[in-house]
A and B are shown apart, each in its own frame.
Chain A
Amino acid sequence: MICTLLRAVRCTERLHGCPGKPWFLPHSVPHRACSQTEPRWRWGLQEQNTAARPRYIWGVNQRSIWTQGRSLQSAKEDGSKRVSVHRSQGGETVLSTSQKVKEAGRDFTYLIVVLIGITITGGLFYTIFRELFSSSSPNKIYGKALEKCRSHPEVISVFGEPVKGYGEATRRGRRQHVSFIEYTKDGLKHMRVKFYIQGSEPGKQGTVHLEVKENPESGEYEFRYIFVELEPYSRTIVIEDNRS
Chain B
Amino acid sequence: MEEYAREPCPWRIVDDCGGAFTMGVIGGGVFQAIKGFRNAPVGMRHRLRGSVNAVRIRAPQIGGSFAVWGGLFSTIDCGLVRLRGKEDPWNSITSGALTGAVLAARSGPLAMVGSAMMGGILLALIEGVGILLTRYTAQQFRNAPPFLEDPGQLPSKEGTPGPGYPSYQQYH
Which A residues contact B (CB, under 8 angstroms)? 2, 6, 121, 123-125, 127-128, 131-132, 139, 142-143, 146, 150, 162-167, 169-170, 172-177, 179-181, 183, 185, 190, 192, 194, 209, 225, 227, 229, 234, 236, 238, 241, 243
Contacting pair A183 B154 (CB below 8 A): no
> How far does the alpha carbon of A166 sit from the alpha carbon of B77 in the complex, in Å?
14
**Interface check B105, CB cutoff 8 A:** no
Which single residue of chain A is at the shortest CB-CB distance from B124?
Answer: A128
Within 105-157 of B, Cβ neighbours of A (below 8 Å) are at 124-125, 127-132, 134, 142, 145, 148, 150-151, 153-155, 157
B residues whose Cβ falls under 8 Å from a Cβ of A:
4, 8-9, 11-12, 15-16, 19, 41, 46, 81, 85-93, 124-125, 127-132, 134, 142, 145, 148, 150-151, 153-155, 157, 161, 164, 169-172
A238 lies within 8 A of B12 (CB): no
B161 contacts across to A, CB distance below 8 A: 236
With both chains docked as a complex, state the minimum distance between the C-beta of B5 and any C-beta of chain A, in angstroms: 9
Q: Are B145 and A179 in contact (CB under 8 A)?
A: no
Residues from chain B with Cβ under 8 Å of A236 in the complex: 153-155, 161
CB within 8 A of B41: which of A2, A150, A209?
A2
Q: Which residues of A contact B9 (CB under 8 A)?
A: 173
Asked if B41 and A139 make an inter-chain contact with CB atoms under 8 angstroms apart, the answer reads no
Give the chain A neighbours of B128 by CB distance below 8 A. 123-125, 127-128, 131
- B172 pairs with A234, CB closer than 8 A: no
One of B41, B86, B131, B154 near A127 (C-beta < 8 A): B131
In the complex, A20→B169 CA distance in Å?
Answer: 80
- Bound complex: CA A143 to CA B88 (Å): 9
User: Nearest 8 A-B pairs (CB), nearest first?
Assistant: A173-B8, A124-B128, A234-B164, A179-B171, A164-B85, A128-B128, A166-B87, A165-B86
Q: Is B90 in contact with A164, judged by CB distance below 8 angstroms?
A: no
**Nearest chain A residue, comparing its CB with the CB of B146:** A183
Given the interface pairs A124-B132, A128-B124, A183-B148, the reply to whether A172 lies near B16 with Cβ below 8 Å is yes
Chain A at the B interface: SS class: mixed
Whether A176 contacts B172 by the Cβ 8 Å rule is no
| A residues in contact with B151, CB < 8 Å | 209
CA distance A125 to B126 in the complex (A): 10
For B89, the closest partner residue in chain A by CB is A176
Question: Do A176 and B153 touch across chains, with their CB atoms under 8 A apart?
Answer: no
Q: What is the minimal beta-carbon distance from A222 to any residue of chain B, in angstroms?
A: 16
Q: How far is the CB of B57 from chain A (nearest CB, A)?
A: 12
Nearest CB of B to A220, in Å:
21
Within 8 Å CB of A127, what residues of B? Answer: 128, 131-132
Contact partner of B90 (CB less than 8 A), chosen from A132, A177, A180, is: A132
